[in-house]
Structure 1
């Protein structure tokens, strides 16, 4: 009998998994202090190789080295990785002392839920993100005492490991894959085989250098290859759990198969992949704009904010806003729509690096013959019906396509209709943005609080982009809880969550409506200038680089340079 040899990529999977089985024993024997030392070393290496990271990411995305857009790669790459490592390291130190990561946390109440203040988490946060805050809402029925007792997740019993996890990496934001590895390793106590998305294969040498301490221990292995390698990996009997980032369509193909096979399996309730799967998937994220009295400067700033929510990373973000919900009766509606149209059109040009982008844009224009082409492959569609039958509200284009839904009413009538539309007409539950002038929030009172409570999304951002939740290591990141493999929507489970909080429902982020100094002149206690993640920020690259250096090695002396660069943005 002739034995068929495994393909080279498949043989590498076999070797990696075999090594991870042995590595799990070494990971189980590593103390909390030893694990903290490993994370601190990875953080140091993140800072050392940050420039290589950004160069590789910019190469993937076709960004010129001197482009301000490279700032996106600094902040969403090595900065958030280093910040996440630092927060996890502190959590392990607290657990090693026999304390809870939430012992010193500030708790609150939102309706019938307990909340935990997670931003600012340090004096540095209070200065670098002045005016921004975030709270993690716990699921109904979770008390403060239970939250403190259970914070730490699998690290409450570090010697009890959970086998081998397979992570299928994302192809857009380069920190997603390594951060997912850290969460599997720490929150779930699983050693990890990371299979990179082929788009990000150029990141392999950088990740190998940064994750070297965990690789050397045998707790992490890095793999490359296409769908065949990914399928072989997750189907291997040595893999106990799968975590993936991508689209709901890709998730369903992995779990159920495709075509007739998928239909038959769904009918029989017999998925193709039977092991546990968690996921962070995309969706059609809405931005809700509440009517109010805005100055011309407010309109211009918030128009660029909306353009950023759509066009950051070229529009290839799982939480990129795809449609805006606006009041048809707002006196300044037309003025704001004109400003949004102009902001999208004048945003810096960039290559459409993500595969299939042009085809998806063409598909949107075919569905909407009246769509406005704004240059650079950007498309605006107005007059959308607030209905799940509307393609733009149910299909994640993952491309620079943006739509507008107009609803009648103002004040509480509009907020109720907006929440209902966001929950019922939009596909996915990953993130929703709300833009509201502070006076409007005050006037709405309890109705505004009800709007936040009613929205079934994993991250709700008020006068901030939901991407701030991604950048906050102590915040949770993932879909609203309750999805299943039968109807996965934006995924199952959370990541990041560096305080290792159990039974999270959502993260609520708040930011200033205006940048400094206008914020101070109008009574907002916030000194943050235009955020460095705005697509029109002129010093985004220098600010991002300085933030990444700070994330890897925080210190007071680094702050003046960061502030000076940010203020010039």
Structure 2
């Protein structure tokens, strides 16, 4: 399916929102600067663009420490907090690895090579082609031992199509994509920067970035990090509230809008307000398919992410480790993530069900405390308390564990709480029967299509065989993570990131189009990530290796992003600094810390 195909509609006539001259005039000047920059961009060769990204990389390296510390402070994390490493990974680390990947793609195209030259492709279920895009460098296998990433293309897309289309707008570098608007996310600090980079590289579109007010304190960091793109007029950064965003979305010289946020915000931009005096006009526009917005829009939105637990025979250590894994999916960044796991789907017939829930409760209680910093979080927690008065809460009232029967889980399954609310829903069955039922439930009952997680021990996976891969193909999610978390897909730049194809302006689900996708691949359907079920040293147990054909292997004792990792902050910073300077001696010290997690 082509990426973000424009939707042809008859736009409604709208009036631009009024802004004071002192606010409006600088915005108009920024858009005019970008219009000139768009022409300049089309004159750069691919090799020049690759070198420009080298300059951006150097600028990001120079501000990385200030970036990570500033982001941690903005989220209420004191210096030395055990979870401060999150801001290294989800800020400068994510940006640096993306810049490296884009730079490699541009360099390959400049030499007349395909970005897929070193990438293995093979068949995936349902007549699909897949490309194995992680790891591509030996160091990736060292830092993220046992983790892999695949891109699956839509049914009927041939390998020849995949290789011919790789490059997107860089196959026609002199064709301008015009001036775009990025409405930046407010929860993860790399997202606005990565969205700007994708607009520029994938679409030849220079960009005005409207920063979410939650990240206003980081604007000076963003300006220095993106200075090599700001100077020639390829990027402008502005601040402001909803009035500024509304003015820019309707600006006549903005050719395209991209937003990372929530579906209600997307709907308000496209159709108008859903409440108040304009609600009747909005409803009429939707009925008549006359959107308020008169230009193409792409979006990465959230949803309710499932965590499917496939029943098997787990040891006590397995139960503890995977409970910590699930707790991380919910508690990372205080749960203020579009990909935070929210609903655990497990088997009512699994003999270890209660033991797993007990381990999960312990993991939630043991994770370090931290503020709920995102605006509106208190209201989301209050809504959960109202929806589920029997929920189990942490002593400080910031984390809830809800056990709900399928018929009572509607609020849990349709409300993206965007806060530390984790639900457990038990479905009947074992083996393939349970897995198929869980996939159907996730597809049909849970809101959104952004990411799904599946946890399964290697012996059970081997027993299911092709049935397991078929079930993965049946999941209608943009990223499916097996024994890993979908955040790994977000952090891996060679993977696409976005909702499952098929959304529309009328039913946006988790968004339209994709981002990241550093190999610039077209007709993408999904990303699939795989990780180790057991950490080191249990991954090396002879019995485990023999019974699982080695698929349990990993040398990581605990991933640094686990909220229960004792050395996660130091290791996350160390991994980022290695990406900055490539110093293997320092990396060795970081790896020692990783083994102390």
Q: Would you say same fold, with TM above 0.5? A: yes
- 1:438-481 Cα distance to aligned partner (Å, 9 max, x none): 10101111221121011000000000001000110101111001
**Is the 1:458–1:481 contact (alpha carbons within 8 Å) kept by the matching residues of 2?**
yes
Alignment partners' CA distance in 2, 1:325 and 1:188: 38
Alignment partners' CA distance in 1, 2:419 and 2:330: 9
Deviations 1:308-327 (A, max 9, x none): 00010000000001110000
- SS of the equivalent of 2:394 reads strand
- SS of the aligned residue for 1:217 comes to coil
Gaps of 5+ in 2: 1-17, 274-278, 546-551
Say whether 1:184 aligns with 2:204: no
1:157-556 matches, within 5 Å, as 157-258=172-273, 259-376=279-396, 377-385=398-406, 390-521=410-541, 522-523=544-545, 524-556=552-584
Task: Summarize deviations over 1:260-304 as a string: whole Å, max 9, x none.
Answer: 222111011111112100000000000000101111111001000
* 1:80-229 correspondence to structure 2 within 5 Å: 80-111=94-125, 112-229=127-244
- What's the offset of the Cα at 1:543? 1.0
**Aligned-residue offset at 1:386:** 5.8
Secondary structure of the residue aligned to 2:231 is: helix
C-alpha spacing 1:138/1:553, structure 2 compared with 1 (3 Å) = farther
Q: Secondary structure at the residue paired with 1:505? A: strand
Give the CA deviation at 1:551.
Answer: 1.9
CA contact (8 A) 2:63 2:225 kept: yes
- In the alignment, the residues of structure 1 paired with residue 389 and residue 22 of structure 2 have an alpha-carbon distance, to the nearest angstrom, of 47
* Greater alpha carbon shift after TM alignment, 99-108 vs 516-525: 516-525
Secondary structure at 2:216 match in 1 = helix
Deviation string 1:198-218 (CA, Å, 9 cap, x unpaired) is: 001111000000100000010
Correspondent of 2:65 among 51, 60, 83: 51
**Displacement after TM superposition at 1:183 (Å):** 0.1
- Quick one: structure 1 residues 5 and 199, their matched pair in 2 at CA, closer, same or farther if it must change by over 3 Å? closer
Looking at structure 1, the residues matched to 560 and 133 of structure 2 have their Cα atoms a distance apart, in angstroms, of: 21
Deviates more, 1:478-487 or 1:518-527: 518-527
Task: Tell me the secondary structure at the aligned position of residue 329 of structure 1.
Answer: coil
Match of 2:5 in 1: none
Separation of aligned partners in 2, 1:438 and 1:325: 19
Q: Considering only aligned residues, what root-mean-square deviation do their CA atoms show, in Å?
A: 1.2
Q: 1:243 Cα deviation (Å)?
A: 0.3
Query: Aligned partners of 2:450, 2:359: CA distance in 1, in Å?
Result: 27
Deviations 1:500-537 (A, max 9, x none): 01111000000000111111113232212200110111
Q: Distance in 2 between matches of 1:177 and 1:551?
A: 20
SS at match of 1:166: strand
Question: How far off is 1:432 after superposition?
Answer: 0.3
Q: Distance in 2 between matches of 1:96 and 1:517?
A: 44
Q: Secondary structure at the match of 2:203?
A: coil
Residues 453 and 530 (structure 1), Cα distance of their counterparts in 2 relative to 1, 3 Å cut:
same
CA distance in 1, matches of 2:21, 2:355: 59
State the alpha-carbon separation in 1 of the partners of residues 513 and 63 from structure 2: 30
**Structure 1: gaps of 5 or more residues:** none
CA contact (8 A) 2:578 2:584 kept: no
Q: Does 1:19 align with 2:33?
A: yes
- Cα distance in 2 for partners of 1:104, 1:307 equals 36
Name whichever of 137-146 and 483-492 sits farther off.
137-146
Alpha-carbon distance in structure 1 between the residues aligned to 2:293 and 2:47: 36
C-alpha distance in 2 between matches for 1:121 and 1:559: 19
Q: Distance in 1 between matches of 2:26 and 2:516?
A: 29
Alignment match, 1:42: 56
CA distance in 2, matches of 1:556, 1:29: 38
Deviation at 1:29, TM superposition (A): 1.0
Q: Distance in 1 between matches of 2:269 and 2:446?
A: 23
User: Of 42, 65, 87, which aligns to 1:28?
Assistant: 42
Deviation at 1:5, TM superposition (A): 7.7
- Aligned with 2:174: secondary structure? coil
- Residue in 2 aligned with 1:78? 92
* SS class of match (1:375): coil
Question: Is the 8 Å Cα contact of residues 168 and 195 (structure 1) preserved in structure 2?
Answer: yes
Q: TM-score, normalised by structure 2?
A: 0.93
